[in-house]
Amino acid sequence: MVVEAVVVESGSPAALGVGAGSMAVHGHRLSTVVPSSVTGESVDYELTDADLLHKLHYVRAVHVFRAPAAAAAPGERALSVRELKEPMFPWLDMFFPVSGRLRRRQQQQDAAADDEAAGRPFVRCNDCGVRIVEAACDATVEQWMEAEAERGGMCKPLAYDKVIGPELFFSPLLYVQITSFKCGGMALGFTWAHVIGDIPSAAACFATWAQLASGNKAPPPTLRDPLSLLPPPPPAAPPARATAPPAPSSVVKATSAPVGDHWAVPTAHDMVPFSFHVTEQQLNALQQRPGAAGVGPFELVSALVWRALAAIRASEDGDEATRTVTVVRTTQPAVGGRRLGLTNEHRIGHAVASGSPPAAADVAALAALLAGARVEDAGAVAARAGDAAAGDVVVYGASLTFVDAGGVVEAHPLELAGRRPAHVEYAVDGVGDGGAAVVHAAARGRGRTVAGSLRQGEPGRLRAALRDALRAA
C-alpha cells in the first residue's frame, strides 16, 4: 500500500521510466586523503584471526542528504567537497590503521617453525591514505528516493565498488564516495574492508568524522610508538569441550579456490544489491501475530525474508539448501579500547529449520528459531576454523546470512552541518552464493531497512513476495 501510494503521487510515470538511465552515477574523480601527522617508520597493525576471517567481505554504508532549504541558516548550508575533506586529516590521525596498506609477512627461512604465519597479512601503517571519489548523479534526491522505494538496490552505485587486490600494496582499505545530486543534495558512500572492523566499528569511525566536520576538536595526535600498540590477544582458551555441543562446521566455508591477493569471493551466481524497507506500521502488525510476542523486529523481518527466499530458491536448490542460515549479531565496540575501536567482535551462529521446510513454516516459528540461535564470538569461530582461517574463508553468504545491526544508525548518527541524512543503508558486499542481508533501524521513523546482496534475479521476486506478505498482515 505504502509503496504504491508513493508511485501514484509522483505524478509522472515517465520520470520513472527515464529514471533507470538518469540515475546513473558518473564523472568519478579519485583523490587521496592522508593522516595529518606522520605515523612513524615501520608501524604495524596486527590483524587478529577474527579479522582475517572476514577478509573477503566489505561493509557498504550509504547516507543520503537532501539539499539544504533555500532559506537555510548559514550553519546549515551544504558542505563542499573540500570542507568534507578537511576534517579527514585529523580523523585519520585517530584511525591511522585505516590509512595503511596490507602486507604479508615474509616467508620464514626456517619453514618448520612458523609455517602458519608465513604470508600472514597485516597492516603496515604507512600513511598511504583513504581514497575519496567524487561523482555526480543527474537525478534529484527526491527522484532517487522514489526509485529506491520502487526498485531497491539503488545504494550500490553510491559507494565505490572496488575490492582489495590484485595488488595488496596499492589497495586502500576505505573508499569514500561523495555523489552530488542535481538539486544540491549529496550522498556519502563508504566502502569499508571488513578485515579492519565490523559494522559498529565502521559506523563509530564514520560518526567520529562527522563530529569533526561539525566542529568538534580532534584530540591531539599521540606519539605513535609501535610498542604501545599491544600485540593481538593470545588465542582464546579452547571452550570446555565436554559441555559444548558438537560444533556445526558450516558457519564458515572455504572458498572453492584460493583467492591469492585478489580478495573477492568467487561465486557461482552474479550477486546484485538488494534493499527493502519495512515501515513501523507493518512491523507493529507483524508483532501482533500469534506467537510473535517476545521476538524482536530483527527476527521477525529476517524470518519473513527467510521464508520468502526459501520459496524462491526451492525450484533451483531444493528444500535443503535454505534450511540452515547464518545469524550474525553485532555488539558495540569498546570505546577507547586499545585497538582504537576497530574490532571484529560480532557473534556468529546458526539456525537450523528442522522439521517442515522453511518455505512452508510459520513466520513466528522461524523467528523463534532465529532468536534462539546459538552464537559465539568471531574470535572463537576463527580459532575453531583453525587452519582453514588462515586460508580463504567465506562468512557472509556461506549460507543465507542475516546480520542484526540493530540500532547502529541511532548509536552512531552521521550529522553534517546540523542535518541528518534522509536515507541510511548499511549492507555487506562481497558475499557468497547464499546471499546476505543486514537488518537495521531506518534513518527516519522506526521502521527497518533490509539491505544486502542476493543472487541475480532474486531481488525483484523477493520484494514482491515481501510486499504480499506484509499486506496480508
Provide the binding-site residues for another protein, judged by CB under 8 A: 29-34, 36-38, 41-42, 82, 85-86, 89, 101, 103, 124, 126-129, 167, 169-170
Residue 26 vs 374, nearer CB to another protein: 26
Which set of grid coordinates corresponds to residue 171? 589497495
Q: Are 64 and 144 in contact (CB under 8 A)?
A: yes
Residue 166 vs 318, nearer CB to another protein: 166
Residue 212 vs 286, nearer CB to another protein: 212
Q: Are 155 and 451 in contact (CB under 8 A)?
A: yes
**Please, what is the minimum distance in Å from the beta carbon of residue 82 to another protein?**
8
Q: Which amino acid, 316?
A: E
**Please, what is the minimum distance in Å from the beta carbon of residue 43 to another protein?**
8
Residue 105 vs 420, nearer CB to another protein: 105
Which set of grid coordinates corresponds to residue 283? 512491523
DSSP string computed for 323-359: TEEEEEE--PPPTT-TTTT-----EEEEEE--SS-TT
**Please, what is the minimum distance in Å from the beta carbon of residue 308 to another protein?**
42
- Distance, in Å, from the CA atom of 2 to the CA atom of 282, rounded to the nearest integer, reads 10
Residue 101 vs 419, nearer CB to another protein: 101
Residue 170 vs 248, nearer CB to another protein: 170
| Helices 2-9/141-151 angle, 10° precision | 140
Of 355, 460, 300, 383, residue with least CA distance to 48: 383
Residue 167 vs 317, nearer CB to another protein: 167
Residue 42 vs 315, nearer CB to another protein: 42
CA atoms within 13 A on the CB side of 389: 21
Q: Are 297 and 450 in contact (CB under 8 A)?
A: no
**Please, what is the minimum distance in Å from the beta carbon of residue 31 to another protein?**
4
- Distance, in Å, from the CA atom of 57 to the CA atom of 65, rounded to the nearest integer, reads 26
Q: What backbone phi and psi angles, to 5 degrees, belong to 77?
A: -75, 165
> In residues, how long is the chain?
473
**Please, what is the minimum distance in Å from the beta carbon of residue 104 to another protein?**
11
Residue 132 vs 188, nearer CB to another protein: 132
**Please, what is the minimum distance in Å from the beta carbon of residue 100 to another protein?**
9
- Distance, in Å, from the CA atom of 406 to the CA atom of 448, rounded to the nearest integer, reads 9
- Distance, in Å, from the CA atom of 39 to the CA atom of 110, rounded to the nearest integer, reads 32
**Please, what is the minimum distance in Å from the beta carbon of residue 38 to another protein?**
5
Residue 29 vs 374, nearer CB to another protein: 29
Q: Are 178 and 134 in contact (CB under 8 A)?
A: yes
**Please, what is the minimum distance in Å from the beta carbon of residue 101 to another protein?**
7
**Please, what is the minimum distance in Å from the beta carbon of residue 120 to another protein?**
17
Q: Are 390 and 382 in contact (CB under 8 A)?
A: no
**Please, what is the minimum distance in Å from the beta carbon of residue 34 to another protein?**
6
Exposure letters 175-197 (e unless 16+ CB within 10 A, then b): bbbbbbbeeebbbbbbbbbbbbb
Of 267, 65, 70, 269, residue with least CA distance to 179: 65
